[in-house]
Amino acid sequence: MEPIDYGISRLSIVPIRAKGSDASEMISQLLFGEHYAVLEESKNKQWLRIQNVFDGYEGWIDAKQHYRITQEYFEQIDNSEYKICTDLTSQILYGKSVIHITLGAVLPILNNSLFMDQERFAFNGEAKSIHQRWSVDLTLELAKKYLNSPYLWGGTTPFGIDCSGFTQMVLRIAGYRMPRDSKDQITKGKEVGYENVMPGDLAFFTNKEGKMNHVGMVLSPTEIIHASGKVKIDKLDEQGVFSVEQNNYSHHLFKIKRILRDYT
């Protein structure tokens, strides 16, 4: 479907919903600076079906949270080297207004100033090139920034995040493009056995019914960081995740995939 409009997030977080309704489940989020194509407008004109350019994810956003940009600017973003916020939280100053942003927000930065559609923003926080790939050690340090973030279905920030949102955001900030959902993330990378597991690998798990429904990042052959209730570190072995809090196996190991290039 051809886009009918183009936009960019000008808010800290924009919920993406499964349907065009406030009552519909949140399936993901747009962070500040993420651009998207508008594919459809609801009949009541209150909702827009959009596609996030980074991961191709589609859903509905509130039309009041849509900030329109030209096709020319949309394509400029696609073809430019932008940066991504590496602070847990930070601020962007726009005139006398402050916009609060989180880890993973996208920043079009030039000469220490941030430009969006001919408007100037000031940003004094920490950021890195969105395409610069970090080492495994830096990636694991980044993952630990999310520790104790509450679990939130559809969330992608330190203030609420789900399991696949966590792995996607860590890898995105580290310079890797990953799909939004675990069912798609499992199709990426190289499969390895538990006996060859390395820090930074993604581990996928099944529930009691045998359905793959969970993903986390390996810290060591005996530890995993994942979002389950909150982002936390649990024990890992060839059976799966042993919950320190529950004193039992909470997730059964299904498959391990290697994404980070330090080992490939």
| Residues designated catalytic | 163, 214, 226
| Token code pair at residue 196 | 């060859």
Q: How many CB atoms lie within 10 A of CB 18?
A: 14
The separation between CA 255 and the C-alpha centre of its own chain, rounded to angstroms, equals 21
One-letter amino acid for residue 190 of the chain = K
- CB crowding 220-235: b at 16 or more within 10 Å, else e: ebeebbbbbebbbbbe
The separation between CA 60 and the C-alpha centre of its own chain, rounded to angstroms, equals 17
The Cα 173–Cα 193 span in angstroms is: 26
User: Is the distance from CB of 234 to CB of 247 less than 8 angstroms?
Assistant: no
